[in-house]
Structure 1
Amino acid sequence: MLIRPAMAADAEEAASVLRRSICDLCLSDHSGDAETLAQWLANKTPENVRAWIEAPDRFIVVVEENGAIIGVGGASHSGEITLNYVAPEARFRGVSKAILKSLEAYLSLLGCPEITLTSTKAARTFYIAMGYEDAEAQDASNAQGGLPMRKSLGPKEAS
């Protein structure tokens, strides 16, 4: 497994991983609802992924195995993790954890004091295990299903 910065040439395969991950692994978030799924997938195109890769204020990584992309991660320079998706066939193999650690290290180097992200219902337990906490009271009526979370990168305060 190799984690590396994404290149524009990765956009098509990366977009495919994003779309397959959402369709197959985030069922608890979209419940197979065609409209919800269409909204979620609308910006997961090769063109948009290429733009994210080329944006100067973003850091996008891919995870490769045997020449195939099996994971995609992204962060904005403001400290928000924007992508952490794994190909269905690579689930439960440490890919998402490797992506997260890579993005956290990058944001730490940028001096971000805190990382924020919007978790899916499917990934919330994973993020809690990785040290994230709910950023605000969860609103069950949130149509996008997004769960705001955060993690401090600053020094731990003594209790």
Structure 2
Amino acid sequence: MIIRDATADDAEAACAVLRASISELCLADHRGSPDILARWLANKTPQNVAAWADGRGRSLLVAVEDDVILAVGGLAHPGEITLNYVSPRGRFRGISSALLAELERRAAALGARDVALLSTETAHRFYLARGYADVGVPAGKFGTAASYPMSKTLATAP
């Protein structure tokens, strides 16, 4: 598996990963509600994903294995993780952890001392296990029951 910057040519496949991850893996968040899913997926279009790959104040990364995109991660520069979604076929293989580590490295290289994100219910324990802490009151997003504001201080080089 390699993690690299996404290009506009990755938009269709990356969008499919985002949509499948949300639809199939985030059931604890959307609870099968068509209304919540519609709101959450509304901006997950190939056109938007291509725009997110433009590198202007943000990074869009993809984890690729055998020319197949298995995960998509986003970073608003310098230190806000905006996306970290894995495809159903890539789940429980360490891909999300590797992508998160690369997003954190990118943030540190851009001068961030801390990274922030808004976690789903599904991913909340994942982030807690990787050193993130809750930093605010959970609030619903897209109609979900809870989205967790979280933060982590990045390790500094000796």
TM-score of the aligned structures, taking structure 1 as reference length: 0.92
Alpha-carbon distance, 1:50 to partner: 0.4
* Unaligned residue ranges in structure 1 (runs of 5+): none
Residue deviations 1:107-127 (CA, integer Å, cap 9, x gap): 001111210000000000000
Aligned to 2:101: 101
* Unaligned residue ranges in structure 2 (runs of 5+): none
Q: Trace 1:26-41 onto structure 2 (pairs within 5 A).
A: 26-41=26-41
The alignment partner of 2:59 has SS state of strand
Q: Which runs of 4+ in 1 moved over 4 A?
A: none
The alignment partner of 1:121 has SS state of coil
The alignment partner of 1:44 has SS state of coil
Aligned to 1:4: 4
Aligned to 1:152: 153
The amino acid of 2:15's aligned partner reads A
Taking only aligned residues, the RMSD between alpha carbons, in angstroms, comes to: 1.3
Alpha-carbon distance, 1:153 to partner: 1.8
Contact 2:63 2:71 in 1 (8 A): yes
Q: Trace 1:78-97 onto structure 2 (pairs within 5 A).
A: 78-97=78-97
For residues 151 and 137 of structure 2, the distance between their equivalents in structure 1, rounded to whole angstroms, comes to: 13
The amino acid of 1:73's aligned partner reads G
Taking only the aligned residue pairs, the percentage that are identical comes to 49
For residues 91 and 138 of structure 1, the distance between their equivalents in structure 2, rounded to whole angstroms, comes to: 25
The amino acid of 2:154's aligned partner reads L
For residues 49 and 110 of structure 1, the distance between their equivalents in structure 2, rounded to whole angstroms, comes to: 22
Aligned to 1:116: 116
Aligned to 1:130: 130
| 1:72 matches 2:72 | yes
The amino acid of 2:147's aligned partner reads G
The amino acid of 2:101's aligned partner reads K
Segment drifting more, 23-32 vs 70-79: 70-79
Aligned to 1:24: 24
Aligned to 2:51: 51
Q: How many residues align?
A: 154
Segment drifting more, 48-57 vs 145-154: 145-154
Mark the CA change 1:153 to 1:26 in structure 2 (over 3 Å): closer, same or farther.
Answer: same
Residue deviations 1:88-112 (CA, integer Å, cap 9, x gap): 0110000100110000000001111
Segment drifting more, 117-126 vs 54-63: 54-63
The amino acid of 1:45's aligned partner reads T
